[in-house]
Amino acid sequence: MQFFDFSLESFITTLMKILALLIAIIGHEIMHGLSAFLFGDRSAKDANRLSLNPIRHLDMMGSVLLPALLLIFQAPFLFGWAKPVPVDMRYIVSQKGSLACVVVSLAGVIYNFTLAVLLAFITHWSFQKLGINALSVDELNLYQLALVTFLIQGILYNLVLGVFNSLPIPPLDGSKALGFLALHFKSAFLLEWFSKMERYGLLIVLIFLFIPPLSEFFIHAPTRFLFSLLLS
């Protein structure tokens, strides 16, 4: 197996993949903190986690080691996560109600889907303007290669993150949103159950990621559908 390709084209595509991934995962976390701040919670603001400095948001496992391993083994796309932004949901519930917590929980997912749509519009426009759709990959110049890689990978990463984090399994955003939505209707059972299950969160996430029937049905198939829909 060839682990590394030291060509300039490979360097550019790798750089664009990393940039697209960082924008997707860091923006996801910043939006959680920003939405919480708009509802009066200063936890992320006081921790300086609303900063656009990527260093403040990097998680050693999710932002460095996992993407690096995927690059080394030439995975078809990268995956990762940023360091979770601190949010005081109890404060938000007491001050703004449970629905505000639903918004905060889904802020990252909304960001990812919105960015995917925006990048798709830019892709259609730029491909038409530059005639990239008429060229093969081998005929792209370096600037076009960088643009194509960033746009396509950016759409893909944001869709994967949006779909994955929408799943109602702890500790993902979908479970938090569903729990606080149930709390709005005076039922705390789901929120309490999801909270108890978070101790097994990493195991549950790995099961959904690495058991092919589950990952295909819940992640890959919806992502492919949305990807083809945006680029059709």
CA dist., res. 231 & res. 221, Å (int): 16
In 3D space, the residue among 96, 47, 84, 71 whose CA is nearest the CA of residue 165 turns out to be 84
**Chain segment 3-30, per-residue pLDDT in tens:** 556 688 888 999 999 999 999 999 999 9
Q: Write out the chain in H/E/C secondary structure.
A: CCCCCCCHHHHHHHHHHHHHHHHHHHHHHHHHHHHHHHCCCCHHHHCCCCCCCHHHHCCHHHHHHHHHHHHHCCCCCCCCCCCCCCCCHHHHHHHHCHHHHHHHHHHHHHHHHHHHHHHHHHHHHHHHHHCHHHCCHHHCCHHHHHHHHHHHHHHHHHHHHHHHHHCCCCCCHHHHHHHHHHHHCCCCHHHHHHHHHHHHHHHHHHHHHHCHHHHHHHHHHHHHHHHHHHHC
In this prediction, residue 134 carries a pLDDT of: 55
Q: Are 180 and 105 in contact (CB under 8 A)?
A: yes
**Chain segment 145-156, per-residue pLDDT in tens:** 999 999 999 999
Q: Which of 123-127, 181-185, 186-190, 201-205 has the lowest mean pLDDT?
A: 201-205
**Chain segment 212-227, per-residue pLDDT in tens:** 899 899 999 999 999 9
**Chain segment 77-88, per-residue pLDDT in tens:** 788 889 999 999
Average pLDDT over residues 192-210: 85
Give domain limits for the chain: 8-231
Q: Which of 18-32, 103-117, 157-171, 195-209 has the lowest mean pLDDT?
A: 195-209
CA dist., res. 183 & res. 177, Å (int): 10
In this prediction, residue 128 carries a pLDDT of: 86
In this prediction, residue 209 carries a pLDDT of: 79
In this prediction, residue 135 carries a pLDDT of: 55
